Amino acid sequence: MATPDIETPATAAGTRAGTGTVFTRFIGLATIVGMVALGVFGLLLSPADVQQSDSVRILYIHVGTVWVAYVAFAFTALASAAYLWKRTTSLAWDRFAGASAEIGVLFMALTLLAGSLWGRLSWGKFWVWDARVTSTAFMFVTYVGYLAVRGLGGSHHQRARRSAVVALLAVLEIPLVHFSVKLWRGLHQDSSVADRTNVNLHGLMLFSLFISVIAFTLLYVWLMMHRQRVLAMQDAIDNTGLDYALQQRRDEGDL
C-alpha cells in the first residue's frame, strides 16, 4: 500500500518526532495569554450577577466550551464533505474531521459538566430532561458514536467514507440544539448574545464572554493542529506496518 499523502513532521532519521511547529507554539502562547486574561476578567474584573451572585461566572466556561464544540462539529462536517467531494484526493481531510470531532466531544463534555454545576446552583438540580439539556446530551452521544464508527476498522479510506456520511448527518443536530430553547419550553434560558438584537448583559460580563470565546477558540486551534498530526502519524504507522509485513512475506518467498 502506497503512502502518498502522509506528511509527518520531523520524520528525518535521528530527529525527535514531534507535532510542534513555530506556528503551534505561537498559537499555544496566545492560548495561555487568552486563558490568563479569561481568568482575570472572569473571576476578578467582571461583576457578580444581581440574581445569581458569583455562580454566573460559570457562564464564561459554559459558553466558550459549547462554542468550540459547535465549531469543531461544524468543521468535522466541512472536512468530511471535502473528503467526499474528491474521494481520491486526501485522507488529510478525514484526519481533520476526526481530530475535530474528538476535540468537540471533549468540549461538549466540559459544557455538560459546567452546565450541570451551574444547574445545581441556579435551578437546584444537577440535571433536568428539558429540551436543551436532552438535545445536547443526544448530540454528545451521537459524536461519541461517530468516534466509534471511525474505529470500526477496515482501510483508511473505508473509515473515511463511513465516518464522513455520519458526520454530515450528525451536524444537523447543531441547529436542533441551538434553537431548542426557542422551539420548546424548557428550564434552560434563551441565549443572551447569539441571534439577538437586544443584549441584556452587563458590559464587563459581555467582554469576559468575548474573551472566553477567543481563548477557547485558540485552544481548539492548538489542539487541532497537534491532534491532526498525531492521527497522520498513526496512519503512517499503519501503512508502514503493512509494508513491513508484506516485505517479510516476500522475503520468505525469495528463499
Partner 1 sequence: MDLSPRPASEAAAPKARNRRKMLSIGLLLFVLLAGILVVSKFLTQSLDYYCNVDEVGHKDGCEAGRRLRIQGVVDKGSITTDNGVTTFNLTFNKVTVPVVYDSGEPGGLFQQCIPVVVHGVMKSGTFEGDDVEVKHSNEYDEKNKTRVATADAEAAACSQSK
Q: Which residues of the shown chain bind partner 1 in the complex (CB under 8 A)?
A: 47-53, 56, 59, 120-125, 128-131, 169, 172, 183-187, 189-192, 200-202, 204-205
Element (H, E) at 99: helix 91-122
- Least distance in Å: CB of 124 to partner 1? 3
C-beta of 144 vs 169, nearer to partner 1: 169
C-beta of 197 vs 200, nearer to partner 1: 200
C-beta of 106 vs 206, nearer to partner 1: 206
- Least distance in Å: CB of 205 to partner 1? 5
**Dist. CA 143–CA 122, nearest whole Å:** 28
Distances 77 to 99, 103, 155, 164 between C-alpha atoms, Å: 12, 14, 20, 7
**Dist. CA 73–CA 80, nearest whole Å:** 10
- Least distance in Å: CB of 60 to partner 1? 11
C-beta of 34 vs 186, nearer to partner 1: 186
**Residues 3, 236 contacting (CB under 8 angstroms):** yes
**Residues 189, 15 contacting (CB under 8 angstroms):** no
- Least distance in Å: CB of 141 to partner 1? 16
